[in-house]
């Protein structure tokens, strides 16, 4: 187990969305455009790395019966800190992401990694795991977001690509489009992985 | 027994530490957040009010829970802005800043906050949509979307959001007219 292999496993081999299938609720909800996807992905990655560090740091002192409660307190605290700091110093970004930040608390990837990885591994490995898993999550959101934004709105990152003659497939930016895209991409990723 | 004390001890410590760090961050960011909130308010006021030489956010009156920001040029009132909101949108609150002349005719409308479906309902924040409220008042328009027999355009695929905006602006105007005397007080009004 090396730093680098922990770093890249989240992107492909154990991608949180396409392979482990964790944190699907926020992913489906915010992947209507690439911009939303990248914002949610980066904010979640930050919280994931921070909570992994702290969970790994205190892993020897926390009795296993109360560990989940402790993890949730840690994660919720980091989310609130991100929320406050962004609202004070990065207002434009905060306005764009406002509604997604509180959603990070309920993102199962973060609790999942605290439980499955950070509570059993060293701080350095937990940082690598956090970055990798967060990166894989961001990448997956970008993929879903790009398909949905392009088909549903004819644009990418808000720039109109397909021209005004293109009639958007509205269903793609509505909830059913999220399920369709997510299902199709999961199938593609898993069939590629099998080779 | 010993085990229980240990559990309580660990949980208490974690919660106290989390509480302390949150209190610290909250305190440290209080001023910058208030400053950013004021900037946001000022920019939304400037979006809907005519040119003025006072500070409308300080020249405000609160009646029935709504704050009316009064814009003045010289000593005369040349516009009033207030926030109207609706929870009848597709998701969450839609907050609208409405700028009017003292008689109740709309100068401009701007969407401050909305969480409608991106690419559909979110189009209410675009200029072509908000511009249609300009010059309208309770007397010269049917305050409904066209689909319901009114004067305002809906957005194809998203009727709920425009309906909510129209209703919010309408009820804001009604509240203004009802409390007009109280809001303007003895202010000198420029027609």
Q: What ipTM was estimated for this complex?
A: 0.80
pLDDT tens digits along B58-117: 888 888 888 999 998 887 888 999 999 999 988 889 999 999 998 889 999 999 888 887
The rounded distance, in Å, linking the Cα atoms of A88 and B28 is 9
Does A159 lie at the interface with B, CB-CB under 8 angstroms?
no
Residue to test with chain B: of A78, A84, A86, A95, most B Cβ within 10 A: A84
What value does the mean pLDDT take over residues B137-159?
Answer: 88
Residue-level length of chain B: 191
Domain-located, residue A163: no
Confidence of residue B57 (pLDDT cuts 50, 70, 90): confident
Give the model's pLDDT for residue A130: 95
User: Based on the structure, what is the number of domains in chain A?
Assistant: 1
From the list A123, A174, A172, the residue with the least C-alpha distance to B91 is A174
Interface of A with B in 101-120 (CB under 8 A): none
Q: What is the DSSP letter of B190?
A: P
Could you tell me how many CB contacts below 8 A there are between chain A and chain B? 70
The rounded distance, in Å, linking the Cα atoms of B146 and B138 is 16
- How many angstroms separate the CA of residue B122 from the nearest CA in chain A? 12
Residue B150's domain spans which residues? 1-191
Contact B46, B110 (CB under 8 A): no
User: Based on the structure, what is the number of domains in chain B?
Assistant: 1
Does A1 lie at the interface with B, CB-CB under 8 angstroms?
no
What value does the mean pLDDT take over residues A42-68?
Answer: 92
Partners of residue B115 in chain A, C-beta under 8 Å: 99
The rounded distance, in Å, linking the Cα atoms of B137 and B121 is 24
Helices (H), chain B: 2-48, 127-130, 160-178, 180-184
Judged by DSSP in three states, A165 sits in: coil
From the list A11, A1, A17, the residue with the least C-alpha distance to A124 is A1
Intra-chain end-to-end CA distance of chain A, in Å: 24
Radius of gyration of chain B (CA): 22
Give the closest of A74, A89, A91 to B18, CB-based.
A74
Q: Which of A177-181, B75-79, B182-186 has the highest mean pLDDT?
A: A177-181
pLDDT tens digits along A118-167: 999 999 999 999 999 999 999 999 999 999 999 988 888 878 888 778 88
Radius of gyration of chain A (CA): 17
Judged by DSSP in three states, B124 sits in: helix
Give the model's pLDDT for residue B190: 61
What value does the mean pLDDT take over residues B47-54?
Answer: 89
Contact A135, A48 (CB under 8 A): no
Contact B68, B57 (CB under 8 A): no
From the list B18, A125, B107, B10, the residue with the least C-alpha distance to B2 is B10
* Closest chain B residue to the Cα of A34, Cα to Cα: B118
For residue B161, pLDDT over 90 is answered with yes
Our CA dihedral for B50, B55, B56, B62, rounded to 10 degrees, sits at -170
Residue-level length of chain A: 195
Give the model's pLDDT for residue B175: 92
Calculate the alpha carbon distances from B50 to B15, B75, B109, B132, B175 in Å.
50, 14, 12, 18, 21
CB-CB under 8 Å, B11 with A74 = no
Confidence of residue B186 (pLDDT cuts 50, 70, 90): low
pLDDT tens digits along A23-46: 888 888 888 888 888 888 988 999
For residue B187, pLDDT over 80 is answered with no
From the list B128, B126, B117, B106, the residue with the least C-alpha distance to B161 is B117
What value does the mean pLDDT take over residues A6-16?
Answer: 88
Residue A138's domain spans which residues? 3-145
Domain-located, residue A195: no
Q: How wide is the angle at C-alpha A108 spanned by C-alphas B21 and A52, nearest 5°?
A: 45
For residue B189, pLDDT over 70 is answered with no
Rounded to 5 degrees, φ, ψ at B98 are -115, 125
DSSP secondary structure, A21-63, as one string: --SHHHHHHHTTSHHHHHHHHHHHHHHHHHHHHHHHHTTTTS-
Partners of residue A69 in chain B, C-beta under 8 Å: 11
What value does the mean pLDDT take over residues A164-189?
Answer: 90
Contact B10, A61 (CB under 8 A): yes
From the list B25, B179, B51, B183, the residue with the least C-alpha distance to B108 is B51
Domain-located, residue A172: no
């Amino acid at each position: 187990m090396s730093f680098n292999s922990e770093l890249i496993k989240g992107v492909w081999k154990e991608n949180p969305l396409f392979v482990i299938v964790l944190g699907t609720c926020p992913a489906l909800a915010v992947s209507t455009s690439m911009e939303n996807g990248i914002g949610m992905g980066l904010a979640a990655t930050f919280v994931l790395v921070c909570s992994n560090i702290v969970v790994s740091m205190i892993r020897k002192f926390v009795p296993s019966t109360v560990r989940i409660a402790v993890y949730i307190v840690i994660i919720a605290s980091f989310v609130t800190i991100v929320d406050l700091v962004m609202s004070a110093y990065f207002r434009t970004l905060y306005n764009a992401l406002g509604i997604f930040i509180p959603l990070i608390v309920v993102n199962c990837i973060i609790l999942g990694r605290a439980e499955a990885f950070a509570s059993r591994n060293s701080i350095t490995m937990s940082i690598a795991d956090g970055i990798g898993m967060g990166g894989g999550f961001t990448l997956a959101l970008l993929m879903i977001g790009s398909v949905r934004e392009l088909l549903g709105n004819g644009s990418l990152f808000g720039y109109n690509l397909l021209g005004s003659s293109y009639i958007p497939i509205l269903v793609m930016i509505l909830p059913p489009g999220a399920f369709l895209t997510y299902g199709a991409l999961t199938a593609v990723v898993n069939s590629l992985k099998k080779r | 027994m010993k085990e229980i004390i240990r559990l309580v001890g660990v949980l208490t410590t974690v919660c106290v530490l989390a509480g302390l760090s949150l209190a610290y961050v909250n305190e440290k960011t209080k001023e910058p957040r208030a400053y950013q909130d004021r900037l946001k308010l000022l920019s939304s006021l400037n979006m809907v009010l005519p040119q003025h030489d006072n500070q409308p956010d300080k020249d405000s009156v609160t009646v029935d829970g709504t704050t009316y920001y009064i814009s003045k040029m010289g000593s005369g009132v040349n516009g009033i802005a207030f926030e109207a909101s609706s929870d009848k949108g597709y998701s969450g609150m839609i907050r609208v800043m409405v700028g009017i002349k003292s008689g109740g005719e709309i100068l401009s409308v701007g969407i401050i906050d909305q969480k409608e479906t991106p690419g559909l309902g979110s189009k209410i924040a675009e200029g072509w949509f908000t511009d249609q409220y300009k010059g309208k008042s309770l007397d010269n328009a049917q305050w409904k979307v066209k689909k319901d027999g009114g004067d305002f355009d809906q957005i194809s695929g998203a009727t709920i959001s425009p309906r909510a905006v129209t209703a919010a602006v309408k009820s804001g105007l009604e509240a203004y007219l009802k409390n007009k005397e109280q809001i303007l007080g003895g202010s000198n009004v420029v027609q």
